[in-house]
C-alpha cells in the first residue's frame, strides 16, 4: 500500500496528441474565455451601475454571472496551460484546488437557478406581495447562504478525499474530478460514498423542489390568467428555463461520464461531453439573458455608449 503523499502530481490521460494543431485549439479556447469574461462582466457592470436593475430578479442574475466568472477561472487557464504542454500533469495541490473551484461552481449554479425560479413564481403568481417577500435583506441573505453552503460542503468533500491512501496517480480526464481521485484509493471509501449520496440529495433534490413547485404554479396561472400574464411569464421565464435545461443536460453528461464506463464512446466525443457544462453555460447565460430581457439590452447599450462617449483625460486639461 502506497501513501498518497508519494504522488506529488496526477497524470491526465484524456488529452489528444494534436501536434501543431494545439496552437489553433489554444487560440479558440482563449477567444472563448475572453468572450465569457467580457460578456459576463458587461452584464454585471450594467446591473451594478443601474439602480433600476437593483431588483431581486437582476440581483440573483448578477450572482449567477459572478459564479460563471468564478467557474471559468477554475477551468480555462488550466486548459490553456495543458493544451500547450507536452506532459499533461497537475500538481496534487492544484488538482484539489481545481476540484474545490469547479464543485462549488456547480453547487452555486443549481442553487442560484432554484432561487431565480422562486423569484419568478412570486413575480407572476403573487405580484402584490413580491416586494414584501423578497426584500433586499432577504435577497442578500439567500445569496450568502447558497455560496456559504457550497463552500463548506465541498470543503468537507475534499477533506474526506485528502484522508484517503491512493495507489495510483493516473486519471482519464481533462481536468481534476473528485470521483476520479477517489477511484484511485486503496483504502476504505465507504464514508466518501455515503457523504456523496447525502450531498447529492441536498444539492440536487432540495433545489429541485422549489423549481418544480414554482413552475407548476406559474403554469397554472398561465392557463387561467390573461394574455398579458402569459406574455409576462414567457418573456421572463424563457431565459431561466433555457439556462436550467442547458445546465441540467451538462450535469447529466458529466454524471454519465464519471459514473459509467463509456470507453467505447469515441474519445473526441468524451472530451466534448466532459467540457460541455463548464464551457457552454458561462457563455450561454449572458447571451440568453442579454438578448431576451429588453431591460438588460437597453441598459447594456447605455453603458457601452456612455463608456465610448467619455472624452480622454487630456481634453479636460
pLDDT at position 282: 92
**Angle CA(261)–CA(265)–CA(268) in degrees, nearest 5?**
120
| Domain count of the fold of the chain | 1
Tell me, what's the pLDDT at 51?
Answer: 80
**Cβ proximity of 192 and 161 under 8 Å:** yes
- Distance between CA 64 and CA 278 in Å, rounded? 14
Residue 4 counted as domain residue: no
In a domain? residue 309? no
Radius of gyration for the alpha carbons in the chain, expressed in angstroms and rounded: 22
Span 40-71, pLDDT tens digits: 998 898 888 888 778 898 899 999 999 999 99
Q: Is residue 311 part of a domain?
A: no
| CA separation for the pair 36, 30 (Å, rounded) | 10
CATH number at residue 264: 1.20.1070.10
Confidence (pLDDT) at 72: 94
Q: How far apart are CA 16 and CA 266, in angstroms?
A: 12
Cell numbers for 270, please give them.
Answer: 468524451
Residues of the chain with pLDDT under 50: 1-4, 312-317
Grid cell, residue 185, equals: 484509493
How far is residue 104's CA from residue 236's CA, in Å, rounded to a whole number? 27
Q: Tell me the CA distances in angstroms from 30 to 27, 143, 148, one per residue in order.
A: 5, 30, 31
> How many residues can be counted in the chain?
317
**Residue 198 falls within a domain, yes or no?**
yes
167 found inside a domain: yes
The parent domain of residue 71 ranges over: 9-304
pTM (two decimals): 0.87
Q: What are phi and psi of 165, to 5 degrees?
A: -95, 120
**55, containing H or E segment:** none
Residue 219: predicted pLDDT = 87
Q: What is the pLDDT of residue 156?
A: 93
Please list the alpha-helical segments (H only) found in 85-168.
92-125, 130-133, 136-162
Q: Tell whether 28 is covered by a domain.
A: yes
In a domain, 297, yes or no: yes
Instruction: Answer yes or no: is 316 within a domain.
Output: no
Amino acid at each position: 500500500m502506497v501513501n498518497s503523499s508519494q504522488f506529488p502530481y496526477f497524470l491526465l490521460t484524456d488529452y489528444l496528441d494534436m501536434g501543431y494543431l494545439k496552437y489553433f485549439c489554444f487560440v479558440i479556447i482563449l477567444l472563448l474565455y475572453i468572450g465569457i469574461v467580457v460578456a459576463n462582466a458587461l452584464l454585471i457592470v450594467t446591473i451594478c451601475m443601474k439602480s433600476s436593475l437593483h431588483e431581486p430578479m437582476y440581483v440573483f442574475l448578477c450572482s449567477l454571472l459572478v459564479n460563471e466568472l468564478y467557474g471559468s477561472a477554475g477551468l480555462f487557464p488550466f486548459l490553456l496551460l495543458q493544451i500547450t504542454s507536452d506532459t499533461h500533469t497537475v500538481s496534487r495541490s492544484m488538482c484539489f484546488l481545481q476540484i474545490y473551484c469547479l464543485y462549488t461552481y456547480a453547487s452555486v449554479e443549481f442553487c442560484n437557478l432554484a432561487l431565480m425560479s422562486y423569484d419568478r413564481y412570486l413575480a407572476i403568481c403573487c405580484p402584490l406581495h413580491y416586494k414584501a417577500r423578497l426584500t433586499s435583506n432577504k435577497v442578500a441573505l439567500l445569496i450568502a447562504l447558497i455560496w456559504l453552503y457550497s463552500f463548506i460542503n465541498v470543503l468537507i468533500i475534499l477533506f474526506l478525499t485528502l484522508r484517503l491512501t491512493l495507489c495510483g496517480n493516473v486519471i482519464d480526464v481533462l481536468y481534476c474530478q473528485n470521483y476520479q481521485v477517489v477511484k484511485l484509493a486503496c483504502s476504505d471509501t465507504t464514508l466518501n460514498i455515503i457523504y456523496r449520496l447525502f450531498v447529492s440529495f441536498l444539492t440536487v433534490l432540495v433545489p429541485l423542489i422549489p423549481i418544480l413547485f414554482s413552475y407548476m404554479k406559474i403554469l397554472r396561472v398561465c392557463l387561467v390568467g390573461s394574455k398579458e400574464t402569459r406574455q409576462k411569464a414567457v418573456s421572463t421565464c424563457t431565459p431561466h428555463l433555457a439556462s436550467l435545461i442547458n445546465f441540467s443536460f451538462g450535469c447529466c453528461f458529466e454524471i454519465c461520464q464519471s459514473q459509467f464506463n463509456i470507453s467505447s464512446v469515441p474519445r473526441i466525443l468524451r472530451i466534448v461531453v466532459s467540457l460541455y457544462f463548464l464551457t457552454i453555460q458561462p457563455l450561454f447565460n449572458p447571451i440568453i439573458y442579454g438578448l431576451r430581457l429588453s431591460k438588460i439590452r437597453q441598459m447594456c447599450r447605455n453603458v457601452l455608449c456612455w463608456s465610448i462617449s467619455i472624452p480622454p483625460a487630456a481634453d479636460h486639461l
